[in-house]
Amino acid sequence: MEATLEQAVSILRRNQLKITKQRHALLDYLVTYQDHYVAISAVDEHMRTLFAGMSHNTIYRNIKEFETLGLLEVKSADNQTLVKYQCDFEHQHHHHFVCSNCGRVIELQACPLDAYEAQLPGCTITGHRMEIYGLCDQCTAKGVQAN
């Protein structure tokens, strides 16, 4: 199921957040990256050309807000924060393969967590993260070299 911009807007409404043109433009941009992670700083740069005079603060604050609402997935890499428009607002749990050449994200089914619980007696598990890296089928077919 693809998450749409309209869904996101209605989630803002449901949480009594104002639908500003800045927020709309930001979501509009993020929705084009449904299947890629983008650096917030790149989003920032883009928005500020597209939307003259938009404040850093506005972009960063809203992205944080969107994360809280579950509209975005966030991760940290290489001293940057990367975001990706959430695949599915119903929070269906899954993992990702990320192409290190084109950045494409492929969703993976199943979760390895169960297999590890027995190794952590007495511990409280609150979360986990698993990601696989490599070259997607298209990039592999093109003969791109893995770094």
Q: Own/partner pairs for 28-33, CB < 8 Å, 24+ apart?
A: 30/66, 30/72, 30/83, 30/85, 31/3, 31/4, 31/5, 31/85, 33/84, 33/85
20: partner contacted, choices DNA, Zn ion, Mn ion, none (Cβ within 5-8 A by kind):
DNA
Calculate the alpha carbon distances from 141 to 25, 108, 144 in Å.
Answer: 35, 20, 8
Among 4, 10, 32, 55, interactor with DNA by CB under 7 A: 55
Residue 19 lies near DNA (rule: CB under 7 A):
yes
Beta-bridge partner residues of 62: none
Minimum distance of DNA from residue 70's CB (angstroms) = 16
Among 32, 55, 80, 92, interactor with its own copies by CB under 8 A: 80
Select from 37-45, 84-92, 96-104, 121-129 the region that touches DNA (CB under 7 A): 37-45
Residue found by looking up tokens 């050449």 in the block: 101
Residue 52 lies near its own copies (rule: CB under 8 A):
no
x/- binding map, residues 75-114, to DNA, per CB under 7 A? ----xxx---------------------------------
Minimum distance of DNA from residue 17's CB (angstroms) = 4
Q: Calculate ∠ Cα 67-72-74, nearest 5°.
A: 80
* Sign of CA pseudo-dihedral 100, 41, 127, 90: negative
Of residues 76 through 105, those in contact with Zn ion by CB under 5 A are 99, 101-102, 104
